[in-house]
Amino acid sequence: MSHSKREFTLVVDERELATILAALRFHQDENLRTCRDIPDKVIKDIATNCGSLKPLDSDEVSRLCERINVGDDRCNWCGEEIAEEAIRWKGICFCSDACLDACRAVQ
């Protein structure tokens, strides 16, 4: 397995970012929740680059999702810039409880 670390920069729009986060959380829930090994061979091949990498565990996926979310500086509901600490729900950033409640109401 490879121990060298290559870094990548990827530019995505909001929909693509939301899909990436959803896919990571789905993978975490479906493949990493109950066992250390990824049961689906195709997903395991993707996650390990056909066995050349060690796959992320559930905690590492959580940290990755948090790192992806840190870049949010605008409320996903109203678009206002977030001045202080953001409110997060399901990987989505909000500037206030009112915006979070409004989003929850349409879910």
**pLDDT confidence of residue 26:** 93
Please identify which residue in the block is written with the tokens 């789905």: 26
Burial class from Cβ neighbours inside 10 Å (0-12, 13-18, 19+) for residue 95 reads buried
pLDDT digits (tens, 9 = 90+) for 31-76: 898 877 898 899 999 999 999 999 999 988 988 887 777 655 778 7
Please identify which residue in the block is written with the tokens 């829930």: 29
**pLDDT confidence of residue 86:** 80
Please tell me whether the overall predicted TM-score, pTM, comes out greater than 0.75 for this model: no
**pLDDT confidence of residue 9:** 63
Query: Taking the C-alpha atoms of 42, 46, 47 and 49 in order, what is their torsion angle to the nearest 10 degrees?
Result: 130
Report yes or no: 17 and 8 within 8 Å, Cβ to Cβ: no
How far is the first Cα of the chain from the last one, in angstroms, to the nearest whole number?
42
- What is the overall mean pLDDT for the chain? 83
Domain chopping of the chain, boundaries: 10-71, 73-107
